[in-house]
Structure 1
């Protein structure tokens, strides 16, 4: 498990690459923009889908998620002595399902400020001349909130804990989430994942206690309430579970997977038109959810529209990053290549 210094540590080779780039300029007042240009050029072949990695790992492997980009940016700003801060975008998160675990990914970006203490950079001007380092720079005017350093570091360990949990490394996930909780003790997403890990380990008492505590601190967190409802229902606390479900009914919930499960049940019962409406609505709201395209392909195929089924399946294959999904969708596409129109049906 990397410590805080190792999360932001850069190799000498990576530092040298930055220094060579900056040696082209003699305008210290715009050092933040020079850094932004370096990051943009240095990461031109960056794979934006990936794990949450340390700065040196992400640069070496040329991949990582938005947290990885923020870590890279922070590492370089620390080296240059520039001021930076983080923002959490207040837009719907992304979701990805791994068996019975749904990963929720927020979007974080970094703002880098001009060097302090220079005549060209008085305090009133510095905040308006900041450089925003983001996968999606067009989001500059979207709502956001600041993220403190402790919260950001806790988010790093939370993300890595979720990744190893998906791989079945329960003990490793436990130690990572414990580290996150020590850094940011009342972080809802950290406590929520800690509860999930305890539930996976069969410790329902601790899982329930954590979720009750977190729901008290964060009464409108739908992810916490979903997990609390699941634990209460499984433990036979039906009255409380229904009360939590009632609270959820009055909160905006962007998680597409309950709707996708309903659509699948509708397909199995032959209600294809209703299922189609759900799949299309999910795709309109969250066009990255490959499972929605898979469901759409199933409906079109059952309706006898092989052309549209193929289009939807190809989109699912394009969006599926996990090798398991790639294999599944490729196999389904291959079966369509040789299928008798009436001889095969997608499960």
Structure 2
């Protein structure tokens, strides 16, 4: 699959310059790793921050040379880098792997985090400041044995060089920039701002999940330890850490990690849903507290759909519909909204309604693999409708 890349010029508001300060060097107010059962694992070496963003000398010179061609052009530095990336990433392929900047350039492949890392690496060489936007998507959940894997990606904003905007001493509130989105055609929504430290943490967490799936528990532990130094409040890294302890047989530590996250407000919908599974049925007060937090926790429509999906599994269809139907107002363009309503209609044996929902999902989808899946579901439903008519 070719990369889908879009470069947009944007203007944002800011009161001060942003710089990259590493969370690893600052005092942390929370420390989930203090609850890790370190005796179960052996620390393995992982990529350093410098290694993640290092570029071969040839790539550094290519970027510098490209910039030299536009030295006298009426273009901002961020626009030049955007043009460079547009040309550079044209033949990159998506392979799902999280790679360092050097690995991505050598393989001409990687996933969205790899592309964000590569973009940051070029920005480092050229002295361009960056920030990020986290974008959530609701793909067909990819199951791997006992795991369900979801995904999110980052958009990168390259900030314009302020010196070109009126002098170093001038106080500026308008900051021009270029937004780089690697998957503009993907069904996704903005879910929050992110910084450099979040990107580093996401790199480590992605690799930790891959190691967990391969049952390389020591490597997963080592990568999660690194991730939480950069983003100690990252709910998905914490959730993965709890799952790691569960899969090495330490259920008690998993519970403690979930409890710590819950008590310190380090939660996400995924984390809360998993925590709920660890609480005994007789602990109704705690269960109700988690459920209350779940009901108000969704940060994006995809979180709402995940929560609704948990209600569907419990056959609480009315509750699920109550969550999903309001999404039709502001997120009517997301096919997954219609898919979940279609599932409910199917389970309630309202096959005609279910078929209509899946038809809507097909029409709303921008990704072909989703269209193909929804068309197959609709054909199955139409077959049921015909069979029921024949029985009558």
- TM-score, normalised relative to structure 1: 0.69
Please list the CA deviations of residues 121-175 of structure 1 after superposition, one character each: whole Å capped at 9, or x if unmatched.
Answer: 535459623333334789xxx785452x333312221122224434554443222
Give structure 2 stretches of 5+ with no counterpart: 1-45
Distance in 1, matches of 2:377 and 2:268, equals 37
Per residue, is there more strand in 1 or in 2?
2
Counterpart residue number, 1:287: 334
- Report if aligned partners of 2:132, 2:194 keep a CA contact under 8 Å in 1: yes
Distance in 2, matches of 1:264 and 1:256, equals 12
Deviation at 1:38, TM superposition (A): 0.9
RMSD over aligned CA atoms reads 4.7
Deviation at 1:303, TM superposition (A): 2.8
- Report if aligned partners of 1:294, 1:312 keep a CA contact under 8 Å in 2: no
Distance in 1, matches of 2:288 and 2:309, equals 21
Counterpart residue number, 1:40: 86
Per residue, is there more helix in 1 or in 2?
1
Select the residue among 288, 294, 300 that pairs with 1:242.
288
Counterpart residue number, 1:157: 204
Q: Which moved more, 1:203-212 or 1:297-306?
A: 297-306
Please list the CA deviations of residues 4-33 of structure 1 after superposition, one character each: whole Å capped at 9, or x if unmatched.
Answer: 222112234433443443342223872222
- Report if aligned partners of 1:198, 1:207 keep a CA contact under 8 Å in 2: yes
Select the residue among 220, 237, 240 that pairs with 1:190.
237
In the alignment, structure 1 residue 200 sits paired with structure 2 residue 247: yes
Distance in 1, matches of 2:369 and 2:201, equals 26
SS in 2 for 1:342: helix
Select the residue among 264, 275, 282 that pairs with 1:228.
275
Counterpart residue number, 2:59: 14
Counterpart residue number, 1:94: 137
Distance in 1, matches of 2:208 and 2:265, equals 21
Distance in 2, matches of 1:310 and 1:250, equals 28
Select the residue among 209, 215, 234 that pairs with 2:256.
209
Distance in 1, matches of 2:306 and 2:360, equals 18
How many residues end up aligned between the 2 structures? 327
SS in 2 for 1:185: coil
Of structures 1 and 2, the one scoring higher in RCO (CA 8 A, sep 6+) is 2
Distance in 1, matches of 2:381 and 2:325, equals 22
Select the residue among 123, 127, 130 that pairs with 1:77.
123
Counterpart residue number, 2:175: 128
Give structure 1 stretches of 5+ with no counterpart: none
Q: Which moved more, 1:209-218 or 1:171-180?
A: 171-180
Counterpart residue number, 1:303: 351
